């Protein structure tokens, strides 16, 4: 029995999306080169084209023909994908509680004083936005 399809991209699909979010449209060979360089994940040309075509069917990327090659671009926005994954993790692991999730991050991540100060600024900015 096959596992049910996820609404979120797989790890490899996320790696490919990150490449396309940084620069697109790209031909398969360019995606493959960046994947090998950035993710240290060498895949064959046929594996990359197979993954991109699966992602096209899932609606994660769009493609257009240019000469003999297809050029791929993201169809989904980074913020939409990351937001969906974060909401899913929050629901599954933290009882749908943003406070529990942030507390876990603060307790488990190695944050220095500068990073904590930046987080405080973001929280304060968000609080001001909510008051407006």
Count how many Cα atoms sit within 13 Å of the Cα of residue 114 in the half-sphere of its side chain. 0
- Determine the 3-state secondary structure of 69 from DSSP: strand
Each residue of 84-122: pLDDT tens digit?
999 999 999 999 999 999 999 999 999 999 999 999 999
Q: 20 with 72: CB under 8 angstroms?
A: yes
For the record, the structure tokens of 60 come out as 């994660």
User: Please, what CATH class does the domain formed by 11-74 belong to?
Assistant: mainly alpha
Please work out, in degrees rounded to the nearest 5, the angle formed at the alpha carbon of residue 7 by the alpha carbons of 6 and 13.
Answer: 80
The whole model's pTM is what? 0.79
pLDDT band at 42 (very low <50, low <70, confident <90, very high): confident
pLDDT confidence of residue 18 = 95
pLDDT band at 12 (very low <50, low <70, confident <90, very high): very high
Q: Residue ranges per domain, the chain? A: 11-74, 78-131
Each residue of 18-32: pLDDT tens digit?
999 999 999 999 999
3 pLDDT above the threshold of 80: no
60 pLDDT above the threshold of 70: yes
- Of all helices (H) and strands (E), which one includes residue 1? none
């Amino acid at each position: 029995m096959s596992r049910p399809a996820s609404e979120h991209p797989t790890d490899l699909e996320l790696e490919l999306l990150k490449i396309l979010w940084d620069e697109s449209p790209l031909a398969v060979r360019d995606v493959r080169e960046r994947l090998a360089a950035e993710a240290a994940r060498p895949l064959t040309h046929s594996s990359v084209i197979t993954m991109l075509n699966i992602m096209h069917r899932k609606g994660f990327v769009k493609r257009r023909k240019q000469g003999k090659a297809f050029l791929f671009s993201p169809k989904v926005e980074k913020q939409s994908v990351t937001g969906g994954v974060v909401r899913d993790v929050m629901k599954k692991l933290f009882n749908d509680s943003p406070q529990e999730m942030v507390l876990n991050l603060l307790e488990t991540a190695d944050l220095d004083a500068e990073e904590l100060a930046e987080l405080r600024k973001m929280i304060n900015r968000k609080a001001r936005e909510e008051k407006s």
